[in-house]
Amino acid sequence: MGNVLTIILQRLALGVLTLLIVSVVIFVAVNLLPGDFAQLILGQGATEEAVNTIRRDLGLDQPMVARYLTWLGGMLTGDLGSSFAQLNFATNMGGANTVTVLDQILPRLGNTMFLAGVTAVIAVPIAVTLGVLAALYRNTIFDRVANIATLSSISSPEFFMAYVLILVLAVINPIFPSLSNIYDGMALSDRLEKTMLPALTLTLVVTAHMMRMTRASIINLLASPYIEMARLKGMSPMRVIVKHALPNALAPIINVVALNLAYLITGVVVVEVVFVYPGIGQLFVDSVKIRDIPVVQACCLIFAAAYILLNLTADIMSILSNPRLRHPK
Amino acid sequence: MSDQLVKIRDLWLEGRSDETWNPIINGVDLNLKKGEVLGLIGESGAGKSTLGLAAMGFCRDGVRVFKGSVEFDGIDLLNASAAVKRDLLGKRIAYVAQSAAASFNPAHKIIDQHVEGPTQHGVMTKEESEADGMELYRKLRLPNPDEIGFRYPHQVSGGQLQRAMTAMAMACRPDLIIFDEPTTALDVTTQIEVLAAIREIVQEFDTAAIYITHDLAVVAQMADRIKVLLKGDEVETADTRTMLTAPTQEYTKSLWAVRSFERPLKSPVIASAVPVVSVRSVDAAYGKVPVLHDVSFDMHEGRTVAVVGESGSGKSTTARCITGLLPPSAGEILFDGEVMPPSYKRRTKDQLRQVQMIYQMADTALNPRVTVGNIIARPVQFYSGLTGKALRKRVDSLMDQIELPADEYYKRLPSELSGGQKQRIGIARALAAEPKFIICDEVTSALDQLVAEGILRLLARLQDELSLSYMFITHDLATVRAIADEVVVMKEGRVVEQGPKREMFKPPHHPYTDLLLSSVPEMDPDWLTNLLAERGVDNIGDAAVDNM
C-alpha cells in the first residue's frame, strides 16, 4: 500500500498547485472585465470624487498584486470577503451587519450540490447499466436504439429538453411541478419532488457520454485472452461482461463519471434559469452582470476546486481499481 | 467404439480477412480416445489452435465452419445450442492457454478464478472447490499451495501461473483438456517443471488431451500420437515413436532436419587482437534496482558471441548498455579499443553507426505506415547522406543482400510481408548503417523453425561477406549450437561462464550451464522420464536453480 499512498499524496499536492495557478488566472481574468463596480453603481453622471471614494472604500485603488495577495490570504483563512453589492446596500441603510460572500454562496452551493447529487444518483446507474447491456447485446437493435436515443438527447440544447419535459411531465401529465423554487427548511420529500424535473433534464444530458464510454471500454476488452478464457470455462455472456470485463474497464468509466459530475456542478446555468432553481450558476451570472467581483471570483474558484477535486477522486479511484497498484509484488 | 471421446469428420474452417473468407482447415479428421494424448504440431498459421478450439465447439471471432462435424462423447457440438455447449465447457472440456499471464483475469485472485468453474457448473461448493484447488496446487508442486491461490495473477511467476492454469482446467475433472502451446512463453528450466506437472496430472486423472505446440521435442515427451498440420492440411498422423523414427512425408522429414544446421568452427582468436566491442566490469541499474553486476566479455571481428540466460538474467540490459540506451552505473564499453561515452546522446554519429540492433519482434520494430524501401533508405540517408539515384541503388543492393528483390518488395508495407521477411527487413535496416557490430536480440524466437533457420543462414552468410561481429542474445541453446563462436552464460545479472562454443558444450560445466543444457528437450520420447529419474522430481525448474 506504501506506493499507492505516495501516488495519492503526489496527486493531492499537484491538485493544490493547480488550484493556486487557477486562482491567479481567475483573479487576472476577472479584473480584466470591462467597467467597474463604482462606475456602474453611480451611473453616468457621477463625479470623479464620488467614484474614487467608493473605489477607496472597496480597496479597488490598490495595485493588483496587493489585492491578489489580500484576496488569497482571505481565501486561505476561509474569509471570501464581502459582496460589493450587499456591502453597499448595508452601509447605505446604516445597518451594521454586512453580508459576506460566504453567506451568499453557501446556500446556493448547497442547492447546486443537491441537484447534482440527485442527478448523479439517477444518471450514473442508468448510464452504466445501459452501457453494460449495450456491450452485451452489441450491434443488435437494442444497442442501436440506446445509442441513438442517448445521442439525440445529448445533441439537443438543454433548454429544449427542459421545455419538452415540462410539457410532458408538468403540463400534459401534471406529475412534477415545473418550478423548482426550493428554499431553506423545506421537507426532503418536497425538495426531491421540486428537483425532479431539472434532475431528469440533466440526466438526459449526461447519460450518453457515460454510457458510450462504458460500452466502448468493455468492448475494447472483449478480445483479451482472459475474456476468451472465461468463455471457454462455459460462463454465461452476462457473467463474462459483468465479472470479467467490467472490473478491468473501471478506470476510464470512473474518469468520465467524474467529468460529468463536475459538469453538473459548474455548467448547469441554463437548466437553473429554466426551472428558476436557486443554484450557484444563477448567482454567478447575476454577479457578473453587476461586476460584483468578490462573488464572481469566489464562484470561479469553487468551480475550479470542484473540477480538480472530482478529477483527483477519479484518479485515486482508478488507482485503487487496479490490483497491480493495490497489491504490489 | 465406446471409448471414442472426440470425433472430427471432414472439418473445413474458414477465416475472414477483409471481406473474403479464406480456408484455414481443409477437411481434417481427428479421433481421440478417452485418456489419450494427441500432439498437434505445425508452423504458425498451420491452423493448430483453430482446430484445437474447434474440438471444443468454439470458433474465435472471424472464424466459421464451412462444413464437417465435431462430436464430443456423442454430442454434436456444431449443432448444439449455446446453453448445451456452455454446460460442457469448463466442466467436461477445459482449455489451457499459451500465456497464463494474459489468460488469468488481472482483477481477481487466482483461487477465485479457480472456483468459478466448479461453482457455476454446480459441481462443487465454493469451500470444496477451494480445498480441492489447494490439493491440485500441491500435486502440481506449486510453492505454498495453501497460500498461493490468494494472490493476484501479477504476483506469481510465469511458470507458476501456467501450473495454476492447469489446476484451473482440472477443477471440474474434465474428460478433455486442450493445451494450446502451454510452455512456449517459458524459459527452458521452467518449461521442464510445467511439462512434468502436466504429464503427471493428466496421467493421474486419465484425462484425454490435445497438446498443441510447434516444438517437436516437447510434443515427443507429452503425446501418445502426433498429427502434423501444414497450412490447414493434415500431413500425417502416427504414434509418437513411429513418427519420430520413421516419418513418411517429406515435410515431416524437413521439420525433423531443422536442428541439424551448424556453422563450422573457426580458428581461435589471436590473443593480441583488439576486440571490436569490449564490455569491462559493467554495473547497471533500473532506478535503484541493480540489474547487472561486474559484467565483462569481449567480442571480436567476424565472430558471433551468444549471450545465453533465462528471462531476467540481464542479457537485454547488457545490450542496452552497449548501445548507450542505458548508461552503466560503473564500468565502460570499449569500441576498437577506445572508450565510448556511456550515453548514446554523447556519442558521435560514427560511433552510433558502428553499433546497430535487430529486434525480436519484427512486427513492432517496423513502422507499419512506411514502405519497405523507405524503412531501409532512411538510415542510409542519415549516415551516408546519399540521395536520389545513388540512394535508390544502395537500397536495391541491400535488398539483394537479404534476398528480397527490390522491384517486387520496395513499395510494400510491413503488413504485406511474412514474419521471416519482416525480420529480413530488420536486418537490412541494420546493415544500411554499414556497422561493424550488430546486436541480435532474440531475432529468431518469434519465428517458426524453418523460417528461423533461413534467418540464421542469412546472418551467417552476411558475417562471412562483411566480417560483421554479432552479439547474439538468445535463450534457445539449439540456436547457440547453430551460430555461435563463443558463448557467455548469464544468470541474475552476472556472467557465470564464458568461452569458445566447443568447450561450452563439453563437460565439465558450471552447474548452471549444466542445468540449462540438460533442460533443453530432446527428440527422444523418454528424455523427460529419464531426466526426472536422474534429477528427482523436486530438483527441476526453479527449485533446481534455487538449489544451486
CA angle B319, B321, B324 (to 5 degrees): 110
* pLDDT at residue number A132: 94
Q: Which residue of A has its CA nearest to B169?
A: A233
SS3 B242: helix
Chain A positions with Cβ closer than 8 Å to B? 223-226, 228-236, 239, 243-244, 247-248, 323-324, 327, 329
Residue A261, min C-alpha distance to chain B (Å): 26
Same fold, B4-257 and B277-370+433-506: yes
Are A234 and B117 within 8 A, CB to CB? yes
Whether residues A234 and B107 touch (CB distance < 8 A) is answered with no
pLDDT at A2: 65
Contact indicator for A91, A58 with CB cutoff of 8 Å: no
pLDDT for B431 equals 93
Q: Is the pLDDT of residue A282 over 90?
A: no
Chain A contact probe: residue of B50, B91, B105, B168 with most A CBs at under 10 A: B105
Contact A223 B61 (CB under 8 A): yes
- Rg of chain B taking only CA atoms, in angstroms: 25
Number of A/B CB contacts below 8 angstroms equals: 76
Mean pLDDT, all residues of chain B: 88
B121:A234 CB<8 A:
yes
Q: Which residues of B271-290 are buried (b: 16+ CB within 10 A; e: fewer)?
A: eeeebbbbbbebbbbeeeee
Query: Does the beta carbon of B88 lie under 8 angstroms from any beta carbon of chain A?
Result: yes
Test B103 with A323 for CB contact under 8 angstroms: no
What residue ranges in B34-136 does DSSP mark as E strands?
A: 37-41, 63-72, 75-76, 93-96
Encode pLDDT of B84-126 as tens digits. 999 999 999 999 998 888 899 999 999 999 999 999 999 899 9
Report, in angstroms and rounded to the nearest whole number, the Rg of chain A calculated over CA atoms. 24
Q: Where are the domains of chain B?
A: 4-257, 277-370+433-506
- Options 3.90.180.10, 2.60.40.10, 3.90.226.10, 3.40.50.300; CATH of B4-257: 3.40.50.300
Q: Pull the grid cell for residue B10.
A: 471432414
| B91: chain A residues, CB-CB within 8 Å | 234
Least confident of B76-80, B239-243, B478-482: B478-482
Q: What is the ipTM of this complex?
A: 0.78
Which residue in B88, B106, B116 is closest to A248 by CB distance?
B106
Mutual orientation of helices A2-31 and A293-320 as an angle, nearest 10°? 160
Q: What is the pLDDT of residues B266-287, one digit of tens each?
A: 777 777 788 999 999 999 988 7
| pLDDT tens-place string over residues A136-194 | 998 899 999 999 998 898 888 888 989 999 999 988 988 888 888 888 778 888 889 98
- Domain B277-370+433-506 sits in CATH at 3.40.50.300
Domain A105-291 has CATH 1.10.3720.10: yes
pLDDT digits (tens, 9 = 90+) for B282-302: 999 887 888 899 999 999 999
Q: A232 and B56: CB-CB below 8 Å? A: yes
**Which residue's entry shows cell 504490489?**
A328
A239: chain B residues, CB-CB within 8 Å: 120
**Boundaries of every domain in chain A:** 105-291
Q: Name the residue with higher pLDDT: B367 or B536.
A: B367
Asked if B104 reaches chain A (Cβ–Cβ under 8 Å), the answer is yes
Cβ–Cβ under 8 Å, residues A105 and A94: no
Identity of the amino acid at A252:
P
Strand stretches in B240-309, DSSP E: 277-286, 289-299, 304-308
How far, in Å, are A272, B280, B300, B329 from residue B338 at the CA level? 75, 12, 14, 18
* Residues of chain B contacting A231 with CB distance shorter than 8 Å: 58, 89
Of the candidates A231, A233, A248, the beta carbon closest to that of B116 is on A233
How far lies A228's CA from each of A190, A213, A237, A271, A322, in Å? Answer: 50, 22, 11, 45, 21
Measured distance CA(B161)–CA(B179) in Å, rounded: 14
Q: Which pLDDT score, from 0 to 100, does residue B502 have?
A: 82
Please determine, for residue A92, whether its predicted confidence score (pLDDT) is greater than 80.
no
- Mutate one of A3, A227, A232 to test the B interface: name it (highest B CB count within 10 A): A232
